[in-house]
Amino acid sequence: MVVFIIPVRHPLNTNKLERAEYFLKLTLSSILSQTLKRFKIIVVCNDVPHINMNSNKIDFHVVNFPPPCLEKRANIPLQSGVKDKGAKLISGFMRSLKYNPDYVFFVDSDDWVNINLVDFLLSKSISLTWYVDAGYFVDFPNKRFKKKHGLIRYCGSTWIYDPNFLFDILNTNSIDEKSSKEEIFQNCSNINFEIFSGHQRQWFYFHNDLNIKPRKIPFSSICWVIGTGENHSSIEGNNIGLPINKSFCKLFGLPDSLSSNEFLSLTALSREYIGRLYSKFTWYRSVLLNKYFF
């Protein structure tokens, strides 16, 4: 079984709660479309979202964590947001153990997952960690996508863990799924929350320090959705890439209504091809020189 763990922002720290719940619903719909149904989704939230989705695959794990920022705004200090997210991930992970998962996968609340991912993971020999290499930037407002290699340089939904390995790394013997945020901070004080939940690219080097080689998912498995109004990143879509079509929607378990009516031009195809080559080159250079290039 694969357990997807989705941390949800505190309602006080969203731009528009209804819009944040809309993107969460798309993420859940994407995961629920997996071709192999051996999975569970744990949504770690302060309140159960109003999304009208009834599925025994979804487990809403409600935590009583205070908001990372007391002001009603989404643009909260990065460190505060990262620590809140990290605490929710760990709380969700502790809850996931009751399902005895083969893997746990932390997924941001607005990203999309390839429908074949669970089938792939459970058909392969067990690995301590997998990482997402290839995936897509999705410019949501303009309904466009572009392929990226080395997606771990950008996206938080890129690391998949053997739960026993993760349990040892997190050193979570003194906490459980009911622990408060303060208890999690106190008992996991050796964990750098910024690396764990905000700077996923550093985990690649972390594995090197442990002499562990993470395995690569060999296909485009994640969409990093930008332009939602809730992203910490300042990266914008800039209307670059290819128009989203129905085949793309099907691959990520999304409704056809998200596809674009835009004509696919030769110019767009050429730009996308060049962009993919450049992305592959910068990722290869990053791995070779042990330093990230973009």
pLDDT digits 0-9 by tens, 161-192: 999 998 888 877 789 999 999 999 888 756 65
Instruction: Tell me the H-state helices in 57-143.
Output: 78-96, 117-123
Q: What is the DSSP letter of 154?
A: T
Instruction: Assess contact for 82 and 191: CB atoms under 8 A.
Output: no
Burial profile 177-201: b = 16 or more Cβ within 10 angstroms, e = fewer: bebebeebbebbeebebebbbbebb
Exposed / middle / buried, residue 8 (Cβ in 10 Å: 0-12, 13-18, 19+): buried
**Low-confidence residues of the chain, pLDDT below 70?**
70-76, 78, 189-200, 230-239
The pLDDT value recorded for residue 83 is: 85
Query: Beta-carbon neighbour count of residue 73 at 10 Å?
Result: 11
Containing 274, the helix (H) or strand (E) segment is helix 266-289
Instruction: Assess contact for 100 and 162: CB atoms under 8 A.
Output: no
Radius of gyration in angstroms for the set of CA atoms belonging to the chain, rounded to a whole number? 18
Count CA atoms within 13 Å of residue 220 on its CB side: 17
How much is the pTM?
0.93
User: What CATH number matches the domain at 2-268, 3.90.550.10, 3.30.470.20, 3.40.50.300, 2.40.30.10?
Assistant: 3.90.550.10
User: Which tokens hold the place of 120?
Assistant: 């792939």
Burial profile 38-64: b = 16 or more Cβ within 10 angstroms, e = fewer: ebbbbbbbbeebebeeeeeebbebebe
Task: Tell me the pairing of strands 222-226 and 135-139.
Answer: parallel
Distance CA 285, CA 153 (A): 13
- DSSP bridge pairs for 127: none
- DSSP bridge pairs for 129: 161
Q: What are phi and psi of 66, to 5 degrees?
A: -65, 155
Domain ranges of the chain: 2-268
Cβ contacts of residue 238 below 8 Å, gap of 6+? Answer: 139
User: Which tokens hold the place of 289?
Assistant: 């020189």
The pLDDT value recorded for residue 210 is: 79
Query: Between the CA of residue 112 and those of 164, 190, 207, 225, 253, what are the distances in Å?
Result: 26, 31, 25, 8, 8
